[in-house]
């Protein structure tokens, strides 16, 4: 089986004076460059009695619109175009006072900038004080940098202190006089090397304090356009690709062909019901486990278990795989060779679940005595705790930082245990929990219930139920669901009616019900890299690979490589690497 083939940032210019603008307007080559489409296109829009409003909805103020366009031109480096727009429209990006203020800050004219700041209208007193503090702080550090300690001390005593704000920062500045290294801690070391850059950063900080009507935020037009594209993307039910597909030329709308909807391949190497499957972290490989006592890294069969294999877990680097026999042992395999590296057993007990620790040197093991244990790769037990966890049905997950262990306890409760703080939170359901799945960002948990519902819980802070997904069938078996697609915007699940169900994560609406299997679909896994690939495992002994339209090759092509007498694994995400 082989791989699948998938198809000095410019600062805002100060308003030019009338002499400069006159000179520019008399420059014939420049006049042509700003008016390539002819005079009619360049003139202001004719008055329709509402000169202060533009756009068909009547919500865009003309002055704001022009100023934002002007700011965008300057930020993109088109300074002559920005100046020409100001002159022709009569709408200037900044007032004379603001332009002077910006010049003074960039030139290091601290006393002048503080004086000009007081003259800018519409500023509240607390804003003026906060802005003055930032300016004088910059003055203080530059004096220190130039070795003018007494001048720095006078600035601190006679200019900064009288503002009577931010006492903690005042103490920090005082320490800088005693210990110059404190400047490094505060992020103002080596100002002399990049003084101009530090002043630009100061201007950016001042801009955050001043009202946007006085000083428009940097790259405001870009932000508005990004916001509009994001809203369109989030409103698109079927968006399932990189944001490079978004365009300014047309409203964004995807079709269903962005969601895996057709069978591209049927894998038939198992000899009994397929209970579990999971793509590797890189999406290159697929592992499955079955009631035929085997696991497969397609197409690399791993044998040795004496009982049905409940599940498999990929190591963080995809070099090793854990397989968990039903109330039996856990085995660790080398993915490259297919060799069994270690068998983990605890006397008199059987395993029912396993999960890697993020560092790849340890793993969690769920046992039939309702305990959860942390073992190293040599089989040494590092930690163990008991709860009221059920047998047979018991998932385990751990967050990427290794701090929180998530496991089932009781039939309707999931425990979130903070190992560092030794504290726990819980998710309480009214129905029996059959399985759960942790999101890629560790902020959400997908919980399958006995009553044919799947619940999405936010677990970032206190657990909170977010969305419910309904429509699939579950009465007798453990059915597993998963997150998937671009930014995990979809939920997929197996079902006892032989179909694979896909929901829009945000709304909970069913997008697709995929027929094809002839038995219950026990588990699904969405490729984490190829967002157009989904795999499903069924009681009909097969695994189906689902993809999009026929122009995209979503087959798991075999490329046989002999390794210790068995067929080596295949790639699954469009990268034909063996």
d(CA 469, CA 491): 9
Which tens digit of pLDDT belongs to each residue from 92-116? 999 999 999 999 999 999 999 999 9
Q: Which residue has the higher pLDDT, 436 or 7?
A: 436
On whether both 205 and 260 belong to a single domain, the answer is no
Q: Examine the domain organization and report whether 281 and 201 are in the same domain.
A: no
Is 173 domain-assigned? yes
Report the alpha-carbon distance of residue 280 to residue 316 in Å, rounded.
9
Instruction: Please calculate the CA angle 429-430-435 and round it to the nearest 5 degrees.
Output: 50
Same domain, 188 and 291: no
What pLDDT, on a 0 to 100 scale, did the predictor assign at position 554? 54
In a domain, 508, yes or no: yes
Say what the pLDDT of residue 392 is: 53
3-state secondary structure of 155: helix
CA gap 370, 267 in Å, rounded: 35
| pLDDT interval class at 576 (50, 70, 90) | very low
For 432, which DSSP code? -
262 and 116, same structural domain?
A: no
Bigger pLDDT: 525 or 30? Answer: 525
Angle at 112 between CA 108 and CA 114, to 5 degrees: 95
Handedness of CA 538, 540, 545, 551 (dihedral sign): negative
Of the candidates 265, 320, 264, the residue with the CA atom closest to the CA atom of residue 295 = 320
Spatial CA neighbour of 33 closest among 104, 87, 81: 81
Sheet holding 500-504, edge to edge: 481-484, 490-493, 500-504, 510-514
Q: How confident is the model at residue 167 (pLDDT cuts 50, 70, 90)?
A: confident
- What DSSP assignment string belongs to 162-186? GG---HHHHHHHHHHHH-THHHHHT
User: How many independent structural domains does the chain possess?
Assistant: 2
Using 50, 70 and 90 to split pLDDT, how confident is the model at 419?
A: confident
Query: Residue 269: inside a domain, yes or no?
Result: yes
Task: Please state the rounded mean pLDDT for residues 188-196.
Answer: 53
Q: How distant, in Å, are the alpha carbons of 243, 351, 354, 404 from that of 416?
A: 34, 20, 16, 6
pLDDT tens column, 317-356: 999 999 999 989 999 999 988 999 999 998 888 888 999 9
pLDDT digits 0-9 by tens, 60-70: 999 999 999 99
Q: Residue 373 burial (CB < 10 Å; 0-12/13-18/19+)?
A: buried
Tell me the per-residue pLDDT of 177-187, one tens digit each, with 9 for 90 and over. Answer: 887 665 554 55
**Is 174 inside any structural domain?**
yes
pLDDT at 549: 74
Span of 84-88, 249-253, 383-387, 431-435 with lowest mean pLDDT: 383-387
Residue 365 in domain:
yes
197: confidence class by pLDDT, cuts 50, 70, 90: confident
* Vertex 331: Cα angle to 374 and 319 (nearest 5): 90
Sheet holding 534-538, edge to edge: 262-267, 543-547, 534-538, 521-526
pLDDT at 348: 83
Domain containing residue 301: CATH number: 2.130.10.10
φ, ψ (nearest 5 deg) of residue 436: -150, 165
Residue with tokens 């010049």: 103
Indicate whether 444 belongs to any domain. Answer: yes
Which range has the worst mean pLDDT, 48-57, 152-161, 327-336?
48-57
Taken as a whole, the chain contains a residue count of 578
Given a contact cutoff of 8 angstroms between Cβ atoms, the answer to whether 482 and 473 are in contact is no
With beta carbons less than 8 A apart as the criterion, state whether 288 and 543 touch: yes
Contacts of 107 (CB under 8 A, 6+ apart): none
Asked which of 177, 209, 241 is the last residue of a domain, the reply is 209
Mean pLDDT along residues 228-255: 85
Say if residue 68 is exposed, middle or buried (CB neighbours under 10 Å; 0-12, 13-18, 19+).
Answer: buried
Q: Is 528 exposed, middle or buried (0-12, 13-18, 19+ CB in 10 A)?
A: buried
Q: Is there a single domain that holds both residue 267 and residue 171?
A: no
Rg (CA), the chain: 32
The pLDDT of residue 246 is above 60: yes
The answer for residues whose C-beta is within 8 angstroms of residue 36's C-beta and 6 or more apart is none
pLDDT at 525 over 50: yes
pLDDT at 122: 78
> Using CA atoms, how far apart are residues 246 and 252, in angstroms rounded to an integer?
6
pLDDT for 411: 86
Same domain for 175 and 87:
yes
Domain range spanning residue 271?
Answer: 256-567
What CATH number is attached to the domain comprising 156? 1.25.40
Q: Residues 204-219: pLDDT tens digits? A: 999 999 999 999 988 9
167 to 160, 171, 215, 262, 511: CA distances (angstroms): 10, 6, 28, 65, 57
415 forms bridges with which residues in the sheet?
407, 426
Beta bridge pairs of residue 381:
375
**Residue 202 shares a structural domain with residue 322:** no
Dig out the tokens for 292 from the structure. 């035929």
Residue-wise pLDDT for 490-510, tens only, equals: 999 999 999 999 999 999 999
Number of other residues whose CB lies within 10 A of the CB of residue 319: 13
Give CA separation, 312 vs 126, 300, 331, in Å. 60, 14, 9
Q: Are residues 76 and 138 in the same domain?
A: yes
112 and 43 fall within a common domain: yes
* The pLDDT of residue 11 is above 90: no
Give me the chain's average pLDDT, please: 84
Q: What is the pLDDT of residues 292-317, one digit of tens each?
A: 999 999 867 899 999 999 999 999 99
Taking the CA of residue 240 as centre, how many other CA atoms within 13 Å lie in the half-sphere pointing to its CB?
31
- What is the rounded distance in angstroms from the CA atom of residue 327 to the CA atom of residue 310? 9
367 and 311 in a common domain: yes
Q: Residue 535 in contact with residue 545, Cβ under 8 Å?
A: yes
Mean pLDDT of the region 379-407: 81
CA-wise closest residue to 353 among 390, 382, 380, 401: 390
* DSSP-derived 3-state class of residue 506: coil
User: How does pLDDT run across 538-569, given as a tens digit for each residue?
Assistant: 999 999 999 997 554 455 543 333 233 233 33
Residue 12, domain member (yes or no) = no
In a domain, 9, yes or no: no
pLDDT of the residue at 391:
46
Look at residue 257 and tell me whether its pLDDT is greater than 50.
yes
| pLDDT of res. 466 | 97
Is there a single domain that holds both residue 272 and residue 205? Answer: no
In this structure, the answer to whether residues 64 and 191 fall within a common structural domain is yes
């Amino acid at each position: 089986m082989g791989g699948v083939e998938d198809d000095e940032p410019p600062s805002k210019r100060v308003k030019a004076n009338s002499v400069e603008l006159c000179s520019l307007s008399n420059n014939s080559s420049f006049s042509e460059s700003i008016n390539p489409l002819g005079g009619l296109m360049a003139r202001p829009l004719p008055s329709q009695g509402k000169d202060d409003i533009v756009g068909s909805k009547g919500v865009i103020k003309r002055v704001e619109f022009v100023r934002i366009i002007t700011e965008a031109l300057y930020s993109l480096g088109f300074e002559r175009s920005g100046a020409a727009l100001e002159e022709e429209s009569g709408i200037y990006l900044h007032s004379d006072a603001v332009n002077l203020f910006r010049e003074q800050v960039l030139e290091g004219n601290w006393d002048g900038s503080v004086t000009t700041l007081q003259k800018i209208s519409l500023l509240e007193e607390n804003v003026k004080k906060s802005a003055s503090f930032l300016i004088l702080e910059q003055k203080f550090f530059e004096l220190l940098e130039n070795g003018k300690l007494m001048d720095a001390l006078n600035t601190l005593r006679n200019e900064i202190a009288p503002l009577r704000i931010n006492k903690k920062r005042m103490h920090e500045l005082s320490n800088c006089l005693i210990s110059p290294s404190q400047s490094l801690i505060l992020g103002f070391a080596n100002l002399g090397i990049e003084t101009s850059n530090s002043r630009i950063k100061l201007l950016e900080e001042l801009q955050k304090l001043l009202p946007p009507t006085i000083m428009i935020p940097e790259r405001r037009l870009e932000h508005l356009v990004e916001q509009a594209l994001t809203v369109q993307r989030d409103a698109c039910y079927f968006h399932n690709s990189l944001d490079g597909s978004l365009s300014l030329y047309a409203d964004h709308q995807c079709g269903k062909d962005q969601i895996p909807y057709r069978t591209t391949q049927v894998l038939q190497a198992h000899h009994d019901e397929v209970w579990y499957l999971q793509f590797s972290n890189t999406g290159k490989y697929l592992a499955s486990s079955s009631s035929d006592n085997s696991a497969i890294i397609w197409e690399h069969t791993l044998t040795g278990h004496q009982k049905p294999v409940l599940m498999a877990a990929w190591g963080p680097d995809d070099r090793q795989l854990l397989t968990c026999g039903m109330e039996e042992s856990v085995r660790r395999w080398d993915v490259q060779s297919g060799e069994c590296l270690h068998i983990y057993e605890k006397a008199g007990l059987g395993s029912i679940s396993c999960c890697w620790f993020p560092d790849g040197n340890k793993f969690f093991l769920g046992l039939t005595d309702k305990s959860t244990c942390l073992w190293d790769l040599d089989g040494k037990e590092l930690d163990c705790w008991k709860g009221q966890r059920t047998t047979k049905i018991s998932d385990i997950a751990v967050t990427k930082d290794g701090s929180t262990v998530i496991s089932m306890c009781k039939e309707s409760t999931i425990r979130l245990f903070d190992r560092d703080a030794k504290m726990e939170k819980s998710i309480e359901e009214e129905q029996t929990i059959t399985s759960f799945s942790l999101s890629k960002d560790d902020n959400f948990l997908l919980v399958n219930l006995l009553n044919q519902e799947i619940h999405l819980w936010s677990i970032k802070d206190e657990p909170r139920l977010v969305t419910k997904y309904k429509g699939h069938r579950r009465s007798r078996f453990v059915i597993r669901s998963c997150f998937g697609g671009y930014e995990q915007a979809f939920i997929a699940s197996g079902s006892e009616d032989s179909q694979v169900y896909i929901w829009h994560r945000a709304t909970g609406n069913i997008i697709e019900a995929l027929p094809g299997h002839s038995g219950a679909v026990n588990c699904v896994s969405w490729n984490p890299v190829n967002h157009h690939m989904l795999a499903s495992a069924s009681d009909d002994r097969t695994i189906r690979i689902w993809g999009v339209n026929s122009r995209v090759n979503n087959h798991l092509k075999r490329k046989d490589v002999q390794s210790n007498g068995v067929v080596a694994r295949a790639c699954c995400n469009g990268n034909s690497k063996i």
